[in-house]
Amino acid sequence: MTPWQLHPQLANDTVPVVELPLCEVRLMDDANHPWLVLVPKLAGAVEIIDLSPAQRTALSTDIDAAARALKTLFKPHKLNVAALGNQVPQLHVHVIARYTDDIAWPRPVWGAANARPYAPEQLIERVSALRAALQSPPAPL
């Protein structure tokens, strides 16, 4: 069996933040939106139904942690959670903080605007804040 490895497109579009019990958490390099991508570290996983019941529970727990971190840090109006995989077949889940005045609202973020890469210092700050939020116990909402 082939060991788990990150799909090249995800590696190109994101930067690592932290590893949770099931997923590698990565920040989408798009300053238009606070946007995390969770990638289960499971070789061959394409769909959520490819996961065992215990792995699905772990995925849900990791999504919860990511969503709570975004909500705590960025105070969004809405959180979008999606596992599409139409362009990248490797199972991954998007967790995106949305605002009623963001560039894509109320439409999905895909294709609404060109990605705006983070400035280096902004990227360091964002990853650092997310890492701290994801490594500490979840804050009550």
Burial of 127 (0-12, 13-18, 19+ CB in 10 A): middle
7 within 8 A of 90, measured Cβ to Cβ = yes
Beta partners for residue 39, in sequence order = 24
Cis omega before residue 138 (within 30°)? no
pLDDT of amino acid 63: 98
pLDDT in tens, 91-106: 999 999 999 999 999 9
| Mean pLDDT value across residues 57-70 | 97
pLDDT in tens, 86-140: 999 999 999 999 999 999 999 999 888 899 999 999 999 999 999 999 997 655 5
The alpha-carbon radius of gyration of the chain (Å, integer) is 15
Residue type (1 letter), 48? I
